[in-house]
Amino acid sequence: MSFVESVSEPADLRKLTLAECEVYAKELREELVRTVSRTGGHLGPNLGVVELTFALHRVFDSPKDTLLFDVGHQSYVHKYVTGRGDRFDTLRQDGGLSGYPSRAESPHDVLENSHASTSLSWADGIAKAHQLKGEDDRWVVAVIGDGALTGGVAWEALNTIAADDSHPPRKLVVVINDNGRSYSPTVGGLAAHLDSMRASNSYESLLSWGKERLHGAGAPGRAAYAALHGMKRGLKDMASDSRTGVFDDLGLKYLGPVDGHDLEALERALQLAKDYEQGPVIVHALTQKGYGYGPAVADEADQFHAVGVIDPLTGQAAPRAAESWTSVFSKAIAAIADRREDVVGITAAMLHPVGLDRFQAAHPDRVFDVGIAEQHAVASAAGLSYGGLHPVVCLYATFMNRAFDQMLMDVALHRQGVTFVLDRAGVTGPDGPSHHGIWDMALLQVVPGLRLAAPRDAVRLVEELEEAVEVSDAPTVVRFSRGDVGEEIAALRRTEDGADVLAEVPEGLGADVLVVSVGALADRALAVRRALAEAGVGACVVDPRWVLPVPESVQAMAQQHRLAAVIEDGVRTGGVGSRLRQELRADDSPVGVLELGVPDRFLPQGTRETVLDGAGLSVTAMVEQILARLPRRG
């Protein structure tokens, strides 16, 4: 029996010798490549944390001790160690194993939120709760990457953690999983600070010295305290103060750097941190994303951060059958940038995923990666706009939530011309609840002066992006879906204010229903019209293109029908349908509005199609709802 099969809980792992753990690590990396190559997922981050995860579970006692994984995409090894290895063939599938920690799966999982930089705040809160309840034998360990440390909320938490002067001090360890990357290479001052330790000429001797010091550490208590401070003195002797000063200046005890692929060194470092009884400790572990898998290590762009289905031997993915939404945008923004020198791009550690790489390659001085810091990205964009440029801020739609205040108070209040491009908008699929981009339209419709476009196909994406960057006195938003862009859906005609009529009421039927189609759901909207026609109900389909505020022509068309049904892949509470209802009510219109959007609950993982169907947006379900709500004639 392999170790992958025999280790089903942390206690099993703790029984293994270091030599056996080395065998287990090799087996587990092979197993990760085998399973993730079939399902897709975050391969590179997990290959890089095998030894680190082993060390955490061998030194600490989960779930009595709380292990928090920031972002959580690096928790696959943790899932194997805690008994879920037999479910990895279902990873990220309908009803299968989550790609992130999940409380429903295991008591060893705590932090499900896959938005970066929040683990330290959670750790601070949990440690305080343990202290107030007198649970002084429980540890809290937060594992945070160097990429997530670029997020401002992480430093807010560190500021609080460092100020802890309670007695006895809270039992909290912060592990920095430093692989020099977030999605792409980590940027910014902190990255340079950490990288100076890696890049220094004395690094190898420093690491060797650190191992010797750790190997020679004695018993807990004073010996551990002396060893910890000896480690710090050694670091200061061998590197400039600027290389370690940031943590020292905060008042946090720092231990490292430690070779993140040396299990023995990691265990000793973590044990030393655990034995230190005078406050929180930072353990700095150096790892390599994709470690042990040649294709991942050789991929300089993202080291297989996230993959689809791939050949496990070569790492090659099957060629795409169609172009992606992101690819269409990437070409379009690069073309705009070639024509307009005032257009600049901003990304929050997602240069390649959001498609700004083509722009950056052509105009490197006009694309800014600010790290995982969406709030800063948006406030900085306001400043760029004030300075006479037109910023295009590119984010995943789910991450727009994090910068709402800056959108409202820095961009909109000051009437700055900033374009926001929201990738992965709506239901996204296998990444689960916190990655569905379903809140943006409801959140953003309350922003005064904001205009939001939802293109239905590639032609409209290019068209609406061109229109968006022409607006110089208000925020504009262009949102689009994840995956392939699909076939072009041509309009029959366009209204004076820019709405596209996709299909008129079939001949011989009455003007019963106006189907308002938002974004990439146009194919379903047209299918709904056909099904209604078979039931003897006449429907017209209109795509507003710019869905917020709702075009006046769409409001006028709604009043010519007995019912307006708005199909959108955002939450229906406060969505486009809700906005249309408000506008019609303001005009004292008797026309009812049926909001066919996503229910206000967290949606599960699965394919985009199955999640949409499960949310009540299948063609059959929508037709049934329309027929049930359609007023009787006369």
Determine which one of 402, 424, 562, 581 is catalytic: 402
Q: Is 293 annotated as a binding residue?
A: yes
Q: Could you tell me the end-to-end alpha-carbon distance of the chain, in angstroms, rounded to an integer?
A: 75
- How far is Cα 475 from Cα 447, in angstroms, rounded to an integer? 9
The answer to whether the bond into 63 is cis (omega within 30° of 0) is yes
* Cβ atoms 455, 545 nearer than 8 A: yes
Q: Is 114 annotated as a binding residue?
A: yes
* Cβ atoms 112, 100 nearer than 8 A: yes
Q: Is 374 annotated as a binding residue?
A: yes
Q: Is 146 annotated as a binding residue?
A: yes
- How far is Cα 86 from Cα 526, in angstroms, rounded to an integer? 42
Half-sphere exposure of 355 (CA within 13 A, CB side): 23
Determine which one of 84, 170, 289, 529 is catalytic: 289
Long-range residue pairs from 4-8, CB within 8 A, at least 24 positions apart, any chain: 4/28, 4/31, 4/80, 4/85, 5/85, 7/80, 7/81, 7/85, 8/83, 8/85
In sequence order, what DSSP letters do the residues of 195-241 get, joined into one string?
Answer: HHHHHSTTHHHHHHHHHHHHHT--STTHHHHHHHHHHHHHHHHHS-H
Encoded tokens for 247: 């943590």
Q: Is 115 annotated as a binding residue?
A: yes
Radius of gyration of the chain from its Cα atoms, rounded to whole angstroms: 27
* Cβ atoms 328, 485 nearer than 8 A: yes
* Cβ atoms 620, 603 nearer than 8 A: no
Q: Is 73 annotated as a binding residue?
A: yes
Quickly list H helices, 343-421: 357-362, 374-386, 397-400, 404-405
* Cβ atoms 120, 161 nearer than 8 A: yes
The answer to whether the bond into 295 is cis (omega within 30° of 0) is no
Encoded tokens for 35: 């399973």
Residue with tokens 């001090």: 169
- How far is Cα 472 from Cα 462, in angstroms, rounded to an integer? 18
- Other Cβ atoms within 10 Å of 134 Cβ, number: 7
In the sheet with 66-69, reading across from the earlier edge strand, the strands are: 66-69, 140-145, 172-178, 281-286, 253-259
| 374 annotated active-site | yes
Comparing CA positions, the residue from 97, 85, 23, 29 lying closest to residue 290 is: 29
Amino acid (one-letter) located at 175: V
Q: 259 has which bridge partners? A: 286
Alpha-carbon 492 to chain mean position: 38
Q: Is 116 annotated as a binding residue?
A: yes
* Cβ atoms 280, 162 nearer than 8 A: yes
| 289 annotated active-site | yes
| 135 annotated active-site | no
- How far is Cα 371 from Cα 181, in angstroms, rounded to an integer? 10
Hey, which residues are catalytic here?
289, 374, 402
Q: Which residues are annotated as a binding site for thiamine diphosphate?
A: 73, 114-116, 147-148, 179, 293, 374
Q: Which residues are annotated as a binding site?
A: 73, 114-116, 146-148, 179, 293, 374
Q: Which residues are annotated as a binding site for Mg(2+)?
A: 146, 179
